[in-house]
Amino acid sequence: MPDGEHNITNEHGATAANHGTVAHEGHHQYQLGDIPNPWLLHSNGILIALILIAFGIRTTRRLSDIPKGWQNLGELITEAFIGFTRGVIGPGGEKYVPLVGTLFLFIYVSNVWGQIPGFHSPTANLSTTLALGLVVFFYVQFVGIRQRGLKGYLGHFWGPIPLAGILLFPIEVISELVKPFTLAMRLFGNIFGEDTVIIVLATLGVGMLKSVPIVALQVPVLILSLLTTFVQALVFTLLTCIYISLQSHHEEGHGDEHAHAAS
């Protein structure tokens, strides 16, 4: 074969090989520890939202003076949220039950959802938890402006001492802006880490099946996760109530605020 044709053949072969490499590199396969596809997590989140909507419709259908069945369960959950919001926010806290209750149920069901084989926790995606954190952030600012007025709302960041406000104002604003990110990162980190640990232990268990007939290393973590998923949902909603309490009470009620926050 002439040298020219040989070179052309090599160039075509190299080009084809390069294309194959690019295609191979462009095709990303899920590996252990990777965050699942965002659309996969979002679709699971939509499914959970639809389940909660169906649950709400079912519990409010054919209401009777003497609750029973689904209505009884719905009223039991609602009363629990009313007691929770009153205990943290104080009298009048029950008006925030729609937000607090929806957040808790969505987060808790999302956390547990990932324990079901074939499904994924939407809260294992940072975009989902950040969206929840931003909802809380904007709602809290809305409550603060509505309760205090714009002047009182800005004065809350300035503090009672005018001269000290020059230093306190930027610090308070920054701490307020950081809140949605801390909410998002705390929830995402715990749920994603928990799911990763379960996957790792399950993989190790499968690898040990040849030597040990029955190995389920992930079972203790799965049992523990039933508690931690509840705790993570509770912490998120508890912090939401505390943030609402800090914005909804005026300066003279700060003593009550801190007492509620401590509880």
In a domain? residue 251 = yes
Higher confidence at residue 170 or residue 235?
Answer: 235
In a domain? residue 83 = yes
pLDDT digits (tens, 9 = 90+) for 226-238: 888 899 999 999 9
Residue by residue, DSSP assigns the chain as --HHHHHHHHHHHHHHHHHHHHHHHHSPPP-TTPPPPHHHHHHHHHHHHHHHHHHHHHHTTT--SS--THHHHHHHHHHHHHHHHHHHH-TTGGGGHHHHHHHHHHHHHHHHHTTSTT---GGGSHHHHHHHHHHHHHHHHHHHHHHHHHHHHHHHHH-SSHHHHHHHHHHHHHHHHHHHHHHHHHHHHHHHHHHHHHHHHHHHHHHTTTTSS---TTHHHHHHHHHHHHHHHHHHHHHHHHHHHHHHS-GGGHHHHHHHHH-
Range of the domain at 100: 37-262
Flag whether pLDDT at 177 surpasses 80. yes
Hey, how many other C-beta atoms are within 10 angstroms of the C-beta on 175?
Answer: 11
Please tell me the distance from the alpha carbon of residue 154 to that of residue 144, in angstroms, as a whole number. 9
**Taking the model in full, what pTM does it have?**
0.73
Lowest mean pLDDT among 23-32, 35-44, 76-85: 23-32
Q: How confident is the model at residue 192 (pLDDT cuts 50, 70, 90)?
A: confident
Q: How confident is the model at residue 262 (pLDDT cuts 50, 70, 90)?
A: very low
Please tell me the distance from the alpha carbon of residue 228 to that of residue 234, in angstroms, as a whole number. 10
Flag whether pLDDT at 8 surpasses 50. no
In a domain? residue 85 = yes
pLDDT value, residue 12: 44
Flag whether pLDDT at 14 surpasses 60. no
pLDDT value, residue 153: 81
Q: How confident is the model at residue 13 (pLDDT cuts 50, 70, 90)?
A: very low
pLDDT digits (tens, 9 = 90+) for 54-82: 998 888 887 777 777 788 888 899 999 99
Flag whether pLDDT at 102 surpasses 70. yes
In a domain? residue 8 = no
pLDDT value, residue 134: 95
pLDDT value, residue 252: 40
In a domain? residue 213 = yes
pLDDT digits (tens, 9 = 90+) for 195-247: 777 777 767 766 665 655 555 666 677 777 788 889 999 999 999 999 999 88
In a domain? residue 21 = no
Average pLDDT, the chain: 76
Overall average pLDDT of the 128-149 stretch:
91
pLDDT value, residue 171: 86
In a domain? residue 4 = no
Number of domain units in the chain: 1
In a domain? residue 10 = no
